[in-house]
Amino acid sequence: MQKVIIVRYCEIHLKGKNRGYFEKVFLENLEKALSGIRHEIHRPSGRYLVDGFDEARADEIAARLAKVFGTHSVSVAQQIPADMEEIYRSVVRIAPESGTFKVQTNRADKHFPLDSMQINAQIGGRLLAERPQLRVDVREPQKTLYIDIRENGTALVFSDYIKGAGGMPVGTSGKGMLLLSGGIDSPVAGYMIAKRGMVLEAVHFHSYPYTNMQAREKVENLAEILSRYTGGLHLHVVSVTRIQEEIHKHCPDEMMITLLRRFMMRIAERIGKRVGAQCIVTGESLGQVASQTIEGMTSSNAVLESFPVLRPLVGFDKTEIIERARQIGTYETSVQPYEDCCTVFLPKHPLIRPDLAKVRLAEEKLDVAALLEDALAQEETVVFK
């Protein structure tokens, strides 16, 4: 008996001609998720099999593989020779002592002397005879014992499906620049876009010394958590202190956030072009706060030369976002109370529906090009592998 892990994937089969490419990227991502752990990945039809690992680490490996986008489900299985006696012994190891069960066989090897129904009946019958407290329930069993007769003379026996992260393999949908604040929303936005297969780099803006080093650490912690889903993450850290000071000095107070947003977009696009990204991703949700109106979004979109902005949370309620943040493990970090740069020089009454013409007029008081150069010159990059 040898422990193996079965990885089933989703959606990839939908991709027709691109299937080979999708599978290649998915395999690379599975390999990355297991880096540092001894293992081998095989590719029999329709799924992946992992073996050659230290069996004590099977659950840890399964958990890592389940997190890879594109994974539908994962099972830890026993691999044995395809022989009824061996199969029965293997089933007994994972069968419950009491309650309801059923045996479900899948027979890829059509030369196996018994068909699926016969295997179910014989294995199930023996188990019932040996464990009188068990009952068969084919409709809603408490436990299903799966037997998979493979074409190479081996069989797989398992009982549990671990739900995978779903989605598409990261690396199959282009590259985006995530605006990552220390808040609840933007890590969730990054997760959702990565789940659709997009590679991400992140950019964070701070106003040191108005914001402190703990705020920065918090964002690095968020980036680290996110990087486990995105297969690594480059975090670009940019100071907007001078930009905020200049806005404060020369422009109407209520335009602080509107104008700052426009700088963030420009900087993200500039860095994005340099690193081969094609769009910007934000955690905005329509109507959530004063700056997240359609007019606010129009005002920030208007500065972009060619990048579109993806806002995966646009139709989400805060409670839905919080729920997702908890699931992905970013919530606890996001709610730590450190100031974001947006709260520095925060106006009492921020503009709710900025008028683009007026915003542009106010911005004429600033040397936009010089401020951009200045901010970009001090950019730092932190790499999470």
Residue 196, class by beta-carbon neighbours within 10 Å (0-12 exposed, 13-18 middle, 19+ buried)? middle
Nearer to Mg ion, 181 or 227 (CB): 181
User: What is the tally of helices (H) and strands (E) in the chain?
Assistant: 13, 15
Nearer to Mg ion, 253 or 339 (CB): 339
8 A C-beta contact, residue 137 and residue 99: no
8 A C-beta contact, residue 237 and residue 213: no
Could you tell which of Mg ion, ligand ATP, none binds residue 205, using a CB distance below 5 to 8 A set by kind? ligand ATP
Q: Could you tell me how far CA 48 lies from the centroid of its own chain?
A: 20
Nearer to Mg ion, 78 or 181 (CB): 181
Least distance (Å) between residue 183 CB and Mg ion: 3
Written as six digits, the tokens of 250 are 């020369």
Q: Does 183 bind Mg ion (CB under 5 A)?
A: yes
Least distance (Å) between residue 181 CB and Mg ion: 4
Least distance (Å) between residue 201 CB and Mg ion: 19
Least distance (Å) between residue 168 CB and ligand ATP: 22
Least distance (Å) between residue 186 CB and Mg ion: 7
Q: Does 283 bind Mg ion (CB under 5 A)?
A: no
From the list 108-116, 138-146, 156-164, 339-347, the region that binds Mg ion by CB under 5 A is 339-347
Least distance (Å) between residue 280 CB and ligand ATP: 9
Pairing of strands 199-206, 233-239: parallel
Least distance (Å) between residue 274 CB and ligand ATP: 17
Written as six digits, the tokens of 22 are 């999708």
Upstream peptide bond of 209 is cis (omega within 30 degrees of 0): yes
Residue numbers 52-111 binding Mg ion by CB under 5 A: none
Least distance (Å) between residue 360 CB and Mg ion: 25
Nearer to ligand ATP, 23 or 284 (CB): 284
Nearer to ligand ATP, 340 or 363 (CB): 340
Question: Which residues would be at the binding site for ligand ATP (CB under 6 A)?
Answer: 179-181, 183-186, 204-205, 264, 282-284, 288-289, 291-292, 340-342
Sign of the CA dihedral with 130 first, then 135, 139, and 140 last: negative
Residue 332: CB atoms within 10 A of its CB come to: 11
Could you tell which of ligand ATP, Mg ion, none binds residue 100, using a CB distance below 5 to 8 A set by kind? none
Nearer to Mg ion, 199 or 310 (CB): 310
Please give the single-letter amino acid code of residue 145: L
Could you tell which of Mg ion, ligand ATP, none binds residue 341, using a CB distance below 5 to 8 A set by kind? ligand ATP
Q: What is d(CA 384, CA 40) in angstroms, rounded to the nearest whole number?
A: 25
Residues touching Mg ion, count (CB under 5 A)? 3
Written as six digits, the tokens of 169 are 């393999």
Nearer to ligand ATP, 82 or 297 (CB): 297
Q: What is d(CA 350, CA 352) in angstroms, rounded to the nearest whole number?
A: 6
Residue among 29, 71, 120, 181 that touches Mg ion (CB under 5 A): 181
Least distance (Å) between residue 107 CB and ligand ATP: 50
8 A C-beta contact, residue 249 and residue 290: no
Could you tell which of Mg ion, ligand ATP, none binds residue 186, using a CB distance below 5 to 8 A set by kind? ligand ATP
DSSP symbols for 273-323: HHTT--EEE----TTSSTT-SHHHHHHHHTT-SS--EE-TTTT--HHHHHH
Buried b (16+ CB within 10 A) or exposed e, 137-164: eeeebebbbbbbbbeeebbbbbbeebeb
Nearer to Mg ion, 176 or 183 (CB): 183
Residue 248, class by beta-carbon neighbours within 10 Å (0-12 exposed, 13-18 middle, 19+ buried)? middle
Nearer to ligand ATP, 23 or 340 (CB): 340
From the list 15-23, 124-132, 163-171, 178-186, the region that binds Mg ion by CB under 5 A is 178-186
Sign of the CA dihedral with 75 first, then 149, 39, and 227 last: negative
By the criterion CB under 5 A, which residues form the site for Mg ion?
181, 183, 340
